Structure 1
Amino acid sequence: MAGDRSFSSLRLARCDRSAVRTLLSFFLAFLFTCLSLTATAQLPGSEPKAFEPVIPDFSAPSADWWTGWTEASAEERQQWLEALTKAWQEWRKSLPDEKKLQARAESISQSLKGIEATWQRQKEYQKVPVLPDVEFPENPDIMDWAKADAAITRGRQRLLSLQLEARQLDQTLDQSINQLRKQVILLREARDGAQKDSAALALLLTQINHLNILEQREMLEEFLGNWQGKIDHAESQLQRMLDRLQYSAEATKALEKDVKKQLDAIEKIGASRTSIQGSPELTTDPVKNLQKDLTLMQLEVDLIEAHLKKRKAELLLSINSVLQQGQEGEKDRQMVVSRDLLETASTMIEGTSRELNLRQRQVSAWRGEEGEEETDLSRWWGYFERIDSGLDRAEDLVKDIQRYEAAQLSVYKEQQGWWATVRERTGFMFEQIYKHWRQLADFQLLIIAQNPITLRDIAKIIFVMVCAWLISSLVRRFLNRMVRKNHASESSMYTLGRVLHYSIIAIAIVVVLSMLGLDTSKLAIVAGALSVGIGFGMQAIFSNFISGLILLFEQPLRVGDLVELESGVFGRIRDINVRSTRITTRDNVDILVPNTEFVAGRVINHTLDDPVRRIHVPFGVAYGSDPDLVREAAMAAAEHVNITHTDWKRKTEVWLMEFGDNSLNFKLVVWINSNMVSPLGDPYAMYNIELLREFNEKGIEVPFPQRDLHLRSWDAPLPITRHSPK
């Protein structure tokens, strides 16, 4: 009982401690919540904490006093700059009157004013319109669209200049951060006295300049976002104008007048170039020659510009004409899609720019020459500036034409329909492919016999060889078809096909040699040189070649003939080539036999004139067999073989040849058709099987070798003893 009471008291104590812990946890959580709400909540009517600008110790500025600048508002930055400027002016009065320190202090004052200048520049930027004088009428014509496009292009160029300035500021900002780190290290390493004051002012100047860079970068980011939004909106309005274009007869007249004006300008510039280039005056004066070259370059740039302006007017005129035809229901207007002018203009602009740089280096080199110091070089730079400006205008015109071509395609698709657009673009694409192929085809690869070989020539050679191969294939297919229809023999058509194949290939090779620029009349010399080589190193190959031609023309052997060579090769001919002949044996093994073996060696052709030939199948029977029964069985066996040939003068016979040691030896003399024998079969085996079957049916015994042994007895031998000498 005592143990139970002690256990109960212990359990109650533990329960009390658990309850106390739970209550304490709830109390602490409530207290923490109240403190958090008190710390974070702001009562209505309470004022926020006032902004206090950070003013550094100018004698030893810290490295991070300025870091709160980017988080401050515009009003706070203004207040901070005023307080910083006022504190700096007061502290500057106590600065020692040392020339170097005063110069650096003046730079700091100018940097503080630079921040104010940046803010003033920001106000001026806000007054500058992004797209001045841009109108987007509800029912525009092509001239309204062109004016709006030009204005948006100018705005886009301004935006690009701001983006370039922003990238430059990013690079400057990185350099400024590196400079800050460097100045902090120099201040820490500086000694007391003038060196420390100079390092402190240098660090302060770098920090203030860094603030100015941050202000400029933030200003540019704001303007870039604003201008980009306005330009995007203007481009959407420009697309709306393009979708709602209306035909204008006045625009047609103005554009036709502009085209005529550019044509007159092109003619005038061409006449001026011809007059200058055709001038008979020749001089060695470098100044006059340079002036002539620069004048020609200027005329060339003006000519490019006139051509591009003409194309620009033609594109606008084409768009306006499509609008007119769309109203009249016509569908046959052609687009201006030729890209030759743009590619030519880009090439000429690039070449002229390189030549201009060369002339500039030439003029710059004159400065160092003796006696040229007093030369007035300003006129040359005037030439250079005019030519460079003309090149810039030409590049802008190229971009304008690209935009106009895209606009023309859009209007054409809308007015003429999808199918007409696809047809036009497909034709343009094939035209471009053909043009690029011509440029690539004229690329010189090598020179043979002083004749340049280009990709076009290689393509022609491949075309000739492919055509020769196709013609040869068609001829052989035609000959095989005649064989299948039994209009000609297989051997003759095979020979004719081979001869025609080699003839066509030879003609193609002669044509290829002519295309390469080689004189085919000199082939006799080449053949004479080859004959010498053939006589020494190519004798075997040439002998096989001549033997192959003899076999093809003389036809002692034909494809399908059953032949037996002196070397023991036995089989059917499958192919007769120039160098060798392929023979398939009964074991289905292909053997390539040089053609000289057929010409110089002995060849047995079992199917040359008549495929019927006679074979002798030997067999033997046991003594005591009836010869007439044996003959009857052998004749029956021959009839059961399907290759047996029998006519009135070719009959099957059975001959008793000799009386052997163990058998009566017979021969089954039978005529067979060689063409009916399977390439893999043996006629002797076929007749032996049938003979054995007939002998078994008729009870004729097939003998086997026998030997009779005769045993003879003799008397016991006399004993022989050996006596040793005494």
Structure 2
Amino acid sequence: MNTDLIKQYFEHSLLLVQQTLSTPFTYLQIAIVLLVYLLAFLLAKKIRNHIGVTNHQPPETAHPLHKLAFRLGGIIYPLLSIIMLRVSTEISGHTAHTAWVINTAYFIAVILFFHFCIQAFVTHRFAANLFRWVGLPTLILHLLGYLPIFIAELEDVSLNVGNVSVSAYGVLRVLIFGTLLFWLGRASSSLGKDIIRKQEHLDVPTREVFSKLFEVALFCVVFLLLLNVMGINLTTLAVFGGAVGVGLGLGLQSIASNFISGIIILLDRSLTVGDYVQLDDNTKGFVREFRMRYAVLETYDGKDIVVPNEMFISSQFINWTHKDPKQRYRVDFSVPYATDVRAMVEIIKVVVAEHPQVISGEDVPFEERPDCEIDSFGDSGINMFVEFWMQGVDDGKNRVGGDLMLSILETLKAHDIHMPFPQREVTILNAEQMAKPISNNNPL
């Protein structure tokens, strides 16, 4: 009996295929589909050639909008195909024949377009897999018209706890849209901050302020959308929002203080990325980035120090490169009293000025040229010092003081000038008494 049913179904399907292939309208639809794909390809190629940024792979250092435009160029062809096929479907709907070929081509084009979008824009592996294994089946159900039936079946699977009803569809919707909003927020935040930081006509503090405000605003929007997806009434939430805000304000006082402190620092421009700072506890480092709660200092030995933003407001710190990256430093040394100090001073000035990182030359103001002077008269020699100006900080890879001390030592040796060392003179007041032999009966 089952064999007869299968045979009848097979014969009926074969008859439908024969009738379809024998209809001239079927071949007309195939021709329309091929024509649509050809026109979409030619039009997409012309658009990409006209807009150069969409036709060439940008380098890694390119502007974020250039990279985004190149990715958008990759979906022009499938997007035009979908639009033309949709128009063809609407036109064929007014005829007496069923445009099943065009509808099938439209169905496939939408799926391929969704797949191309995942490849072009979703770089995170987990998000890409979520779109492929959850988003793509959902899209197929929607195109086939079965999505409402599937949603209804999921809503029937529910758990009632008192007056609260939790359905499988509600949980699944929150998980899917929550993940989607989280990924979309992170991607938009990274793209937005990259675009803001590429605005060369703005100074660094202004760019940091705008990027942080953009990040906070985007976070608030994503949070509100997620609450809406969860079915939480925002009007009801506003009733007890004040009480919750007071509780959060007390519990998150430190976080709020650090956040506001970061905004103040960026607005008053007392600190910016690239500055070399020294804190009260003698912690030193370059400011590499600002976060919502803290700033990151990078030391010369490769360590990253996380400093709360509030410390830069409530505590004193030294900004070595706030207004001018030029700094003045000093190297101390000593020479014997017998040294011709005037001649030695001129020699040391020349040696120090020859260092490539020391600021020197006739075009440099006199007060910024290397200078050698007497500091004080010591017990063993004359204490001298050399002052010099340089770009940056005399530490780490820009270490200049150590090189100058070595150059000064070699120069002094070359001119037969030796570093003085402590000397003591011993005077014997009673030499005759010291010369007498010591008696065992009368020890000293």
Give yes or no for contact 1:619–1:665 (8 Å, CA) kept in 2.
yes
For the pair 1:689 / 2:406, whether they are aligned, the reply is yes
- Over residues 355-404 of structure 1, what are the superposed CA-to-partner deviations in whole Å (9 max), with x where a residue is unaligned? xxxxxxxxxxxxxxxxxxxxxxxxxxxxxxxxxxxxxxxxxxxxxxxxxx
Instruction: Report the Cα offset of residue 327 of structure 1.
Output: 3.9
For the pair 1:564 / 2:278, whether they are aligned, the reply is yes
- Over residues 2-30 of structure 1, what are the superposed CA-to-partner deviations in whole Å (9 max), with x where a residue is unaligned? xxxxxxxxxxxxxxxxxxxxxxxxxxxxx
Residues 152/562 of structure 1: CA separation in 2 closer, same or farther (3 Å cut): closer
For the pair 1:153 / 2:7, whether they are aligned, the reply is no
Give yes or no for contact 1:552–1:576 (8 Å, CA) kept in 2.
no
Instruction: Specify which of 351, 356, 381 is matched with residue 637 of structure 1.
Output: 351
Aligned equivalents of 1:491, 1:558: Cα separation in 2: 6
Instruction: Specify which of 468, 475, 488 is matched with residue 202 of structure 2.
Output: 488
- Who is 2:339 aligned against? 625
Mark the structure with the bigger radius of gyration.
1
Q: How does 1:427-506 map to 2 (within 5 A)?
A: 431-432=140-141, 443-444=154-155, 453-482=170-199, 486-506=200-220
Residues 655/569 of structure 1: CA separation in 2 closer, same or farther (3 Å cut): same
Instruction: Report the Cα offset of residue 681 of structure 1.
Output: 4.2
Instruction: Report the Cα offset of residue 631 of structure 1.
Output: 1.5
For the pair 1:323 / 2:40, whether they are aligned, the reply is no
Instruction: Specify which of 363, 379, 396 is matched with residue 661 of structure 1.
Output: 379
Instruction: Specify which of 263, 267, 282 is matched with residue 549 of structure 1.
Output: 263
- Who is 2:89 aligned against? none
Q: How does 1:509-528 map to 2 (within 5 A)?
A: 509-521=223-235, 522-523=237-238, 525-528=240-243
Q: How does 1:190-209 map to 2 (within 5 A)?
A: none
Q: How does 1:685-724 map to 2 (within 5 A)?
A: 685-712=402-429, 713-715=431-433, 716=436
Residues 451/635 of structure 1: CA separation in 2 closer, same or farther (3 Å cut): farther
Give yes or no for contact 1:325–1:333 (8 Å, CA) kept in 2.
no
Aligned equivalents of 1:597, 1:153: Cα separation in 2: 85
RMSD: 4.0
Aligned equivalents of 1:642, 1:539: Cα separation in 2: 50
My pick for the range that moved more, 561-570 or 706-715, is 706-715
Q: TM-score, with normalisation over the residues of structure 1? A: 0.39
- Over residues 236-258 of structure 1, what are the superposed CA-to-partner deviations in whole Å (9 max), with x where a residue is unaligned? xx89x95xxxxxxxxxxxxxxxx
Give yes or no for contact 2:206–2:266 (8 Å, CA) kept in 1.
no
Instruction: Report the Cα offset of residue 504 of structure 1.
Output: 1.4
Aligned equivalents of 1:477, 1:590: Cα separation in 2: 22
SS of the residue aligned with 2:288? strand
Give yes or no for contact 1:451–1:517 (8 Å, CA) kept in 2.
no
Instruction: Report the Cα offset of residue 575 of structure 1.
Output: 1.8
Aligned equivalents of 2:232, 2:107: Cα separation in 1: 43
- Over residues 118-150 of structure 1, what are the superposed CA-to-partner deviations in whole Å (9 max), with x where a residue is unaligned? xxxxxxxxxxxxxxxxxxxxxxxxxxxxxxxx7
Q: How does 1:610-621 map to 2 (within 5 A)?
A: 610-621=324-335
Residues 636/461 of structure 1: CA separation in 2 closer, same or farther (3 Å cut): same
SS of the residue aligned with 2:337? coil
- Over residues 599-654 of structure 1, what are the superposed CA-to-partner deviations in whole Å (9 max), with x where a residue is unaligned? 11111001111111222222222221221232223212322333323422523221
Q: TM-score, with normalisation over the residues of structure 2? A: 0.62
SS of the residue aligned with 1:644? coil
- Who is 1:607 aligned against? 321
Residues 626/501 of structure 1: CA separation in 2 closer, same or farther (3 Å cut): same
Instruction: Specify which of 229, 246, 249 is matched with residue 531 of structure 1.
Output: 246
Residues 599/421 of structure 1: CA separation in 2 closer, same or farther (3 Å cut): closer
Instruction: Report the Cα offset of residue 573 of structure 1.
Output: 1.0
Q: How does 1:67-216 map to 2 (within 5 A)?
A: 152-153=3-4
Give yes or no for contact 2:209–2:263 (8 Å, CA) kept in 1.
no
- Over residues 670-695 of structure 1, what are the superposed CA-to-partner deviations in whole Å (9 max), with x where a residue is unaligned? 122217x6654434223323322333
SS of the residue aligned with 2:219? helix
- Who is 1:258 aligned against? none
Aligned equivalents of 1:622, 1:459: Cα separation in 2: 81
Q: Which runs of 5+ in 2 are unaligned?
A: 30-100, 112-136
Q: How does 1:332-351 map to 2 (within 5 A)?
A: none
Instruction: Report the Cα offset of residue 439 of structure 1.
Output: 5.2
Instruction: Report the Cα offset of residue 440 of structure 1.
Output: 5.3
Aligned equivalents of 1:498, 1:558: Cα separation in 2: 14
Q: How does 1:13-92 map to 2 (within 5 A)?
A: none
For the pair 1:585 / 2:436, whether they are aligned, the reply is no
SS of the residue aligned with 1:574? strand
Give yes or no for contact 1:548–1:578 (8 Å, CA) kept in 2.
yes
Q: How does 1:403-418 map to 2 (within 5 A)?
A: none
Aligned equivalents of 2:277, 2:269: Cα separation in 1: 13
Residues 519/425 of structure 1: CA separation in 2 closer, same or farther (3 Å cut): closer
Aligned equivalents of 1:714, 1:524: Cα separation in 2: 105
One-letter code of the match for 2:246?
S
How many residues end up aligned between the 2 structures? 328
SS of the residue aligned with 2:274? coil
- Over residues 675-724 of structure 1, what are the superposed CA-to-partner deviations in whole Å (9 max), with x where a residue is unaligned? 7x6654434223323322333343332233333333452425997979xx
Aligned equivalents of 1:549, 1:446: Cα separation in 2: 46
Give yes or no for contact 2:326–2:391 (8 Å, CA) kept in 1.
yes
Aligned equivalents of 2:405, 2:230: Cα separation in 1: 67
Higher-RCO chain (CA-CA 8 Å, sequence separation at least 6): 2
Aligned equivalents of 1:549, 1:695: Cα separation in 2: 53
Instruction: Report the Cα offset of residue 564 of structure 1.
Output: 0.7
Instruction: Report the Cα offset of residue 659 of structure 1.
Output: 0.9
Give yes or no for contact 2:353–2:359 (8 Å, CA) kept in 1.
no
Question: Normalized per residue, which structure has more strand?
Answer: 2
Q: Which runs of 5+ in 1 are unaligned?
A: 1-149, 157-234, 243-315, 335-418
Instruction: Report the Cα offset of residue 497 of structure 1.
Output: 1.6
Residues 679/425 of structure 1: CA separation in 2 closer, same or farther (3 Å cut): same
Aligned equivalents of 2:185, 2:160: Cα separation in 1: 25
Aligned equivalents of 1:424, 1:476: Cα separation in 2: 37
SS of the residue aligned with 2:272? coil
Aligned equivalents of 2:285, 2:208: Cα separation in 1: 19
